[in-house]
A = this chain, B = another copy of it.
Amino acid sequence: MEGVDHLADERNKAEFDVDEMKIVWAGSRHAFEVSDRIARLVASDPVNFLNSLLVFVLHLVFEKSDRARLGRKELFKNTLKKCAHAWKRIIELRLTEEEAGRLRFFVDQPAFVDLHWGMFVPAIKGQGTEEQQKKWLSLASKMQIIGCYAQTELGHGSNVQGLETTATFDPKTDEFVVHSPTQTSSKWWPGGLGKVSTHAVVYARLITDGKDYGVHGFIVQLRSLEDHSPLPNIIVGDIGTKMGNGAYNSMDNGFLMFDQVRIPRDQMLMRVAKVTREGKYVPSDVPKQLMYGTMVFVRQTIVADASNALSRAVCIATRYSAVRRQFGARNGGSETQVIDYKTQQNRLFPLLASAYAFRFVGEWLKWLYTDVTERLQASDFATLPEAHACTAGLKSLTTTATADGIEECRKLCGGHGYLWCSGLPELFAVYVPACTYEGDNVVLQLQVARFLMKTVAQLGSGKAPVGTTAYMARAEHLLQCRSGVQKAEDWLNPAAVLEAFEARALRMAVTCVKNLSKFENQEQGFSELLAELVEAAIAHCQLIVVSKFIAKLEQDIGGKGVKKQLNNLCYIYALYILHKHLGDFLSTNSITPKQASLANDQLRSLYSQVRPNAVALVDAFNYTDHYLGSVLGRYDGNVYPKLFEEAWKDPLNDSVVPDGYHEYIRPLIKQQLRTARL
């Protein structure tokens, strides 16, 4: 039944203009068009080559459905091939930077290039002097060198200040001596380091004239540009298999040890501080805060990634929930589509709403980054702590929810979600490191909590809270207000929802401040109350997501029915969070049990409104079947025949009687094990 759209009925039900929604999702018509064009290019990029019979055959280089069947070495080689081919196409087609980025995105295979472009190049841009940038970026931008970002060590992750690697200045030779003094000081995890990178930005403690100036970045060449062998006194390799089939095993995360490796002084990244020929440490006049700008940038992209990953999982689960039927057959008719069950809606639709919510808060973060950059250039650092806390919290919130949401989507697909070809196990395995890298999610919420405690403490001091904490200025009102919700529909009132979220967040923060004040030693109190501080931080971050979704709805959004759908999703998100964290709302008296029950009623009604639009709402993500990589999530819904096709490809089906039968199965059933040589 190729060519038949098994989900056509679902698509016909939609009450809004899907094409317009695609543009809202993409952020702009331009962004949509670039994504759409590049996604199709990657999905169908053919290469002609002569096969062994000297016949030209068509081959899709970016094919990825065989990924789980490749051993580690094959998978890695396949990745190298895709990266090389991608770069070749980028050059041939003269793609812009934006287009090249989308191309790597749609190739969808973790690889050393991610770190080269995503960490190595930005590190030099951010921390290198103009001269350094000129030299190194011209090499890196053509990939004449390939770089990675070597910060994390075997024994040191979150605590960057605890890194052990040293870079000691030797004034005799005008060099730094980079050294790994212990086994735990070995660099461990950097992507692209294990087998590919020719260079790295290495973070090490700068020591000069006997004094430790803390962690700084250095450009270190790791491998010969001629034969790729590691340079002398460098031990480097791959750290081994990681979670999941395929997944991050295409990446050569590596380890790296230095035995007194010498590099020229000018390979220290010197924008913020330099070491002179004489070995004097001299901070530059570039404000240190500039570094925070980079952090805001990186975390903003992580939030955008969260909405990508979650929407992908939701797309698979939604389509398959419309295909799959269980129970409820009457008079020999079809069974009920599982998407019609309230339990399924109750788990799936909040994730659909979250995908949209994270999309819009990500969009807003992009604006925040621009704002922060402009202010930094004007040496205005006033909003920086708030922007920093806010991005830290949103990174934590969205990545945790996304990882959990992908796994929930997998469960929502029933048993078949457990098959690799459902796409969900690999999506989870590839995504979940986001909860740990660029700041462990719990550690980040503690940073938010510290900022909130400070903000609350300063209320009334005349220093007005800014940005996402501006609501705290209304503390007097928020500490005593009572929610006016009286019927279910009142929960569709943005002011009512915002007030409930603001009251809850502020009251939790204020309670933490009070509880902290009971301790003589503030730090001890902080450490004792860590768990409730994290909860207060989360409450604040959820308020941000809800408020940015509501703000989005206030924008001019065209297209038949589009705004209506977004409105439904916004309140699903808010009321789902309200229900999930009901304990917070009730214990702070932000709402009453009766109002909570009305919120549930409203939520159920919203589910019914979303139901006929669900498939169209995931179509709006505009994912190709290639990118989605899921038999269950196929656009045409033709799931079951395709599951069979995939099954037949398994190596175990190469032969009818499996390898090992004669040695291990036959002796067993013939009762001849005693004499068998196992």
Taking the nearest CB of chain B, how far is it from the CB of A382, in angstroms? 29
Closest to A78 in B: B660
Taking the nearest CB of chain B, how far is it from the CB of A412, in angstroms? 9
Contact of A255 among B84, B228, B442, B644 (CB under 8 A): B644
Contact of A342 among B145, B528, B581 (CB under 8 A): B528
Taking the nearest CB of chain B, how far is it from the CB of A381, in angstroms? 26
Are A144 and B669 closer than 8 Å at their CB atoms? yes
Q: A241-255: contact bitstring with B at CB < 8 Å (1 yes, 0 no)?
A: 111110011001001
Tell me whether A367 is interfacial, beta carbon within 8 Å. Answer: no
Tell me whether A54 is interfacial, beta carbon within 8 Å. Answer: no
Contact of A76 among B229, B652, B667 (CB under 8 A): B652
Are B531 and A343 closer than 8 Å at their CB atoms? yes
Tell me whether A597 is interfacial, beta carbon within 8 Å. Answer: yes
Are B587 and A587 closer than 8 Å at their CB atoms? no
**Distance of A630 Cα from B480 Cα, bound (Å):** 52
Given A76-B658, A245-B241, decide whether A198 and B669 contact each other with a Cβ distance below 8 A: yes
Instruction: Write 8 A-B pairs (CB below 8 A) sorted by A numbering.
Output: A159-B327, A228-B657, A237-B647, A238-B653, A240-B646, A241-B419, A245-B245, A582-B586
Tell me whether A440 is interfacial, beta carbon within 8 Å. Answer: yes
Tell me whether A295 is interfacial, beta carbon within 8 Å. Answer: no
Chain B contacts for A646, CB-based, 8 A = 240
Tell me whether A527 is interfacial, beta carbon within 8 Å. Answer: yes
Contact of A343 among B143, B198, B442, B668 (CB under 8 A): B442
A residues engaging B (CB < 8 A)? 47, 49, 61, 68-69, 71-73, 76-77, 80-81, 83-85, 87-88, 91-92, 142-146, 152, 154-159, 162, 183-184, 186, 188-189, 194-196, 198, 225, 227-230, 237-245, 248-249, 252, 255, 324-327, 329, 335, 341-343, 346-347, 407, 411, 414-415, 418-421, 425, 429, 432-433, 435-437, 440, 442, 446, 527-532, 534, 579, 581-589, 593, 596-597, 600, 604, 640-641, 643-644, 646-654, 656-661, 663-669, 671, 673-674, 676-678
Contact of A144 among B61, B664, B671, B677 (CB under 8 A): B671
Closest to A227 in B: B657
* Additional A-B contact list (6), CB under 8 Å, known A76-B658, A228-B665: A157-B326, A242-B420, A243-B418, A255-B644, A342-B530, A583-B586
Are B152 and A640 closer than 8 Å at their CB atoms? no
Closest to A88 in B: B673
Taking the nearest CB of chain B, how far is it from the CB of A542, in angstroms? 15
Taking the nearest CB of chain B, how far is it from the CB of A18, in angstroms? 28
Taking the nearest CB of chain B, how far is it from the CB of A410, in angstroms? 8
Are A669 and B411 closer than 8 Å at their CB atoms? no
Taking the nearest CB of chain B, how far is it from the CB of A602, in angstroms? 13
Are A650 and B240 closer than 8 Å at their CB atoms? yes
Work out how many copies of this chain go into the complex: 2
Are B640 and A154 closer than 8 Å at their CB atoms? yes
Are A146 and B673 closer than 8 Å at their CB atoms? no
Chain B contacts for A407, CB-based, 8 A = 407
Given A326-B162, A415-B437, decide whether A671 and B73 contact each other with a Cβ distance below 8 A: no
**Distance of A327 Cα from B582 Cα, bound (Å):** 34
Are A657 and B87 closer than 8 Å at their CB atoms? no
Are B243 and A425 closer than 8 Å at their CB atoms? yes
Taking the nearest CB of chain B, how far is it from the CB of A483, in angstroms? 14
Chain B contacts for A671, CB-based, 8 A = 142, 144
Are B69 and A69 closer than 8 Å at their CB atoms? no
Given A61-B678, A142-B671, decide whether A84 and B664 contact each other with a Cβ distance below 8 A: yes
Chain B contacts for A73, CB-based, 8 A = 651-652, 654, 659
**Distance of A435 Cα from B665 Cα, bound (Å):** 31
Are B436 and A415 closer than 8 Å at their CB atoms? yes
Taking the nearest CB of chain B, how far is it from the CB of A121, in angstroms? 15
**Distance of A241 Cα from B151 Cα, bound (Å):** 35
Are B582 and A69 closer than 8 Å at their CB atoms? no
Closest to A324 in B: B155
Are B421 and A436 closer than 8 Å at their CB atoms? no
Given A419-B242, A527-B341, decide whether A673 and B229 contact each other with a Cβ distance below 8 A: no
Chain B contacts for A329, CB-based, 8 A = 162
Taking the nearest CB of chain B, how far is it from the CB of A411, in angstroms? 6
Chain B contacts for A581, CB-based, 8 A = 583
**Distance of A582 Cα from B142 Cα, bound (Å):** 56
Contact of A420 among B243, B661, B676 (CB under 8 A): B243
**Distance of A42 Cα from B91 Cα, bound (Å):** 57
Chain B contacts for A584, CB-based, 8 A = 582
Are A244 and B241 closer than 8 Å at their CB atoms? no
Are B68 and A71 closer than 8 Å at their CB atoms? no
Are A647 and B240 closer than 8 Å at their CB atoms? yes
**Distance of A186 Cα from B159 Cα, bound (Å):** 54
Chain B contacts for A227, CB-based, 8 A = 657
Given A81-B664, A81-B678, A587-B597, decide whether A325 and B640 contact each other with a Cβ distance below 8 A: no
Chain B contacts for A195, CB-based, 8 A = 652, 658
Chain B contacts for A587, CB-based, 8 A = 582, 586, 593, 596-597
Given A326-B159, A664-B80, decide whether A640 and B88 contact each other with a Cβ distance below 8 A: no
**Distance of A649 Cα from B240 Cα, bound (Å):** 7
**Distance of A666 Cα from B229 Cα, bound (Å):** 12
Are B664 and A420 closer than 8 Å at their CB atoms? no
Given A326-B158, A529-B342, A532-B600, decide whether A189 and B415 contact each other with a Cβ distance below 8 A: yes
**Distance of A237 Cα from B653 Cα, bound (Å):** 6
Taking the nearest CB of chain B, how far is it from the CB of A484, in angstroms? 19
Ordered nearest first, which 9 A-B pairs have the shortest CB separation?
A: A582-B583, A243-B425, A80-B664, A77-B660, A586-B586, A587-B593, A241-B420, A346-B531, A84-B664
Given A158-B326, A240-B649, decide whether A668 and B418 contact each other with a Cβ distance below 8 A: no
